[in-house]
A = this chain, B = another copy of it.
Amino acid sequence: MKFSEVADLLRGQDKVLILTHRRPDGDTLGSAAALCRMLRDLGKTAYMLKNFGTIHLFASYVEPYGAPEGFKPSFVVSVDTASLDLIQENGMGYADGIDLAIDHHPSNSRYAKKTYVDPKSASCGEVIYALARELTELTREIALPLYLAVSTDTGCFRYGNTTAQAHRVAAELMDTGIDAYAVNKAVFSTKTFKRLKLEAMLFEGLELYDGGTVAVAVLTRDMMNRVGATEDDADDLAAFARQVEGVDVGVTIRELDPGSCKISLRSSPAVNSSKVCALLGGGGHAAAGGCTVEGTVDEAKEAILKALDTVWKR
């Protein structure tokens, strides 16, 4: 589907409902909020289906757009959602009737009647930005959630997916006069006290192997309970071990249940994380992989270090 066709398709609709993905991040929520605002600016009725997984930090961005109970849409759009099983839990009733999927994941499974994917975009927000340019005026109300989308998906322009285009879109968004710094401060420079407590505990138990090139961090259920931490507090802790200077492979072992552990790997180009995790039935990308191991934390540690030895010939 061509970009101009997406714009035309949206122009012709009314009573639009926008769906986001499970465990919603800034990209899916910001993209949906901006799209909703655009459609309303075009005089249409448009809502987001409330996503009950929305964390407190993002609530204000979507607050004006939640669909009232009983809203009957004529057109359903998903944003930033690669496959049907990732659609927000309370949106599964629409699963068979999603009219349009707008996405940037090359792995999009084409579950919708029509699909527009731009894999060159670091965020879905960049795709929605292009639509805003095509369909309406770029106001602050559209630019602010789009800035949230672009900045969160690129780790505030820090991750490897950050492109020149992402920077150019950010510049255009800032030109509207939005307070980008307030977003950055809240999203990237603030941690909960419980999060800092978890990080301190993770550091306390950090183990270094192979001359400091491998770091293993363990997060047990007991640690979570002692801190009274929520999933929000533990979000993205998998990156913790990898940040230590000199570390090529950061391993994070998270105890899910007694006898079941989720392992996350983050690696430098020296090691292919996906290959290591595949040996334990998992997968991922070259720089980040994951797998689940049935066993205690110690058994999980032994298994992943052995898998790493098999793949990484030093």
Contact = CB atoms under 8 A, between A and B. Distances in A.
Contacts of A197: 203
A167 interface: yes
Nearest to A180: B162
B160 A181 contact: yes
B159 A164 contact: no
Contacts of A239: 189
Interface stretch (A67-75, A126-134, A170-178): A170-178
A245 interface: yes
Interface string A237-251: 001001111000000
- Most chain B CB neighbours (cut-off 10 Å) among A158, A174, A188, A197: A158
Contacts of A159: 181, 184
A251 to B, nearest CB: 16
A165 B171 contact: yes
A298 interface: no
Contact of A171 (B160, B167, B188, B208): B167
Interface string A182-202: 001100111111001101100
B160 A157 contact: no
Interface size range on A against B? 35 or more
A158 B243 contact: no
Given A203-B200, A243-B189, A244-B196, A175 B164 contact: yes
Nearest to A179: B160
A193 B245 contact: yes
Contacts of A193: 208, 212, 244-245
A168 interface: yes
Given A190-B245, A243-B190, A244-B196, A158 B175 contact: no
Contacts of A164: 170-172, 174-175
Given A159-B181, A189-B239, A197-B203, 4 more contacts: A158-B189, A164-B170, A167-B171, A191-B245
16 contacts: A157-B157, A158-B188, A159-B184, A162-B181, A164-B171, A168-B168, A168-B171, A171-B171, A189-B242, A189-B243, A191-B243, A192-B245, A193-B244, A193-B245, A196-B243, A199-B203
Interface of A: 156-160, 162-165, 167-168, 170-172, 174-175, 180-181, 184-185, 188-193, 196-197, 199-200, 203-204, 206, 208, 212, 239, 242-245
